[in-house]
Structure 1
C-alpha cells in the first residue's frame, strides 16, 4: 500500500453523504454540498492561501489587456507544496473521502490543487471539459471547487451541463472563445439541462467530474472571487499516452517521473484517502 499522507486533525472530521447525494452526482456529473469546511476553518486557511496566490500571481497586465483565458482568473497550482498550512488544506482527508465516495472508489490521489481567483472585472470562464488536459486513463476523476469568500448571485458560480460526464472527449479545444462557442452550441443542440447553484457561502463546495462541461460568468463586482480547487483521481489509475500538447505539458508538470502505461503515482500525486473498511 502506498504511503497515506495525513492532514491535520481539524480537517479529518467526517462529512456524511447520503446514498441519494452519491446517486445524484453519478447521474448528473456534479453536486453542491453545504458546509464542507466550517467558517472557522475557512477563517484559518483563506488568508494563508490568498497570501500565496498574491505572491505567485504571474499576471503583469491589467485585466482589460489579457486574452480570454487570462481574463478569467489568477490561476496558481500546487499550493500544497508551498507551505504546511496549504498542504493540510489540499491533502485533507475529509475532502478526499467525499471525492472517493462520490466516484465510488476505494482510494484517491491528488492530481493537483489550483487556486482560481477571479479579479474584479474578470472575464467569464468559457465552456470546457477539464479532462482534455489530463493524461489519465480513467473516467474516475473529480474536482472540488470551494469558495474561500461568500460568492453572491451577481458574481456567480459555475454552470454545469448535466449528463455530459458520460460523453468523454467531445472535442480537444482548450479553454477559449472557440471552446465556449462550440460547446454552448453542442449543449443546446443535444438539449443537455444546465444547472447553476447560485450564491455560495465560503466553505460550501461543488464537485464535478473531469468530463462534465461547465462554465462560469465574469466578476462585475469590486471584490475578488476567491476559490480553491483540488483535483482527485482513483488510486490505481494509469498514465494515458498524451494525445495533445496540453496533455504532454500536464504529464511533465503534474505526473513527474511517470511515463505512459505507468501507475499515475508520482511524487506530486500523494494518496490522500483509502477506505479501510
Structure 2
C-alpha cells in the first residue's frame, strides 16, 4: 500500500503560516536581572540562554559562513600550522561587506546587553570577528583579548555567538571566573607559552574554570581582561562562531604597549588619536542607554 502524506490540519496550517510570518528579531531588548549584572561584575563573564532562536541563527549564520569561507586566506594544511593557526579560521570586520552581516553586527539586542553589563551609557563597535574551529582544530590557548587592544579602559566586552549548539567535544569557550583583575599574563599573546603560564597561574590561585557546553541560542559575554581558553574540536563539524567586540562609547585610544596594539590601531581604529575618544567611521555607536 503506498504511503499517504496527509495535508496539515487547519490549526497546523495556521501555525505554520504564523511561524513563516514571524519577523527575525535582533533588536528587541533582552531582559537582564540585577543579579546577572552583579554576577558579570564579579566573574568577568556571563552566559545567557535563548538570546537568539534557531531561525535567527540560521538566517544570519548562512551568510556569515559563506563570507568566512570566501574571505578566509588560510591555505596551510591544518597539521602544518602553528598552535595559533590551528585554533580557528578567522575573518574580521565582516560587517563592512554590508547586507545581512552588517544587519546582525549592528543589531541592538547584543549591543544593549553589552551596554548593561558594562554599566556604561552606550557602546561602540571595536570590530567583529568570525571564529571557525575546524574539525580536528586545536586548542585556543589561554589569553586575555585586551592584550591586543589599545584602549585606555577595561570597559570593553566580547559577545561570543555560536551559530549552533557547542557540545563539549566541539571546544566550547571556557572562562577563568574572576580573573579580570589579575595582571599576570596580560603581556602574553595567544601561544603555547600563554597556555602554559596563564593556566598554571590560574590554577595556583584557585580561579575556577567554567567549561560547559553551549545550548543553541546561548551567548557568552566576557570582559577584555578576563582570561579564557577553549579545547580542541574533536567532532567532525566546524565550530562556527560569530563575535562582536564592543567598547564604551567614550573609551579613548592609548599609546600601544606592543606591536599587536599598534596593528589594531591602524586596522580597526584608523584616524583615531591617542588620548581622544575612538570616534571613527569604523567605530560607530551601536547602542545608547535611555537617559
Same fold, judged at TM 0.5 (above): yes
Number of equivalences: 269
Cα deviations across residues 212-250 of structure 1 (Å, max 9, x unaligned)? 000000101110000000001111111011010010000
Structure 2 unpaired stretches of 5+:
1-22
Question: TM-score, structure 1 length as denominator?
Answer: 0.94
| Rg comparison, structure with higher value | 2
Kept in 2: contact 1:145–1:228 (CA 8 A): yes
1:69-84 alignment, distance < 5 Å: 69-84=84-99
Measured after TM superposition, the shift of residue 168 of structure 1 is: 4.6
1:128 match = 143
2:192 match = 177
Kept in 1: contact 2:179–2:227 (CA 8 A): yes
Is 1:29 aligned to residue 44 of structure 2? yes
Measured after TM superposition, the shift of residue 83 of structure 1 is: 2.4
Secondary structure (helix, strand or coil) at the match of 1:76 reads strand
1:44 to 35, 44, 59: 59
1:229 match = 243
1:205 to 219, 236, 242: 219
1:90 to 61, 81, 105: 105
Is 1:141 aligned to residue 152 of structure 2? no
Cα deviations across residues 68-126 of structure 1 (Å, max 9, x unaligned)? 01000001100011122101111111100000101111100010000000000100000
2:118 match = 103
| Superposed CA RMSD | 1.3
Question: TM-score, structure 2 length as denominator?
Answer: 0.90
Measured after TM superposition, the shift of residue 153 of structure 1 is: 2.0
Structure 1 unpaired stretches of 5+:
1-7
Kept in 2: contact 1:144–1:205 (CA 8 A): yes
Runs of 4+ in structure 1 displaced over 2 angstroms? Answer: 167-171
Kept in 1: contact 2:92–2:129 (CA 8 A): yes
Cα deviations across residues 135-188 of structure 1 (Å, max 9, x unaligned)? 010011110001001212221311111111123563311100011111011101
Measured after TM superposition, the shift of residue 260 of structure 1 is: 1.1
1:58 match = 73
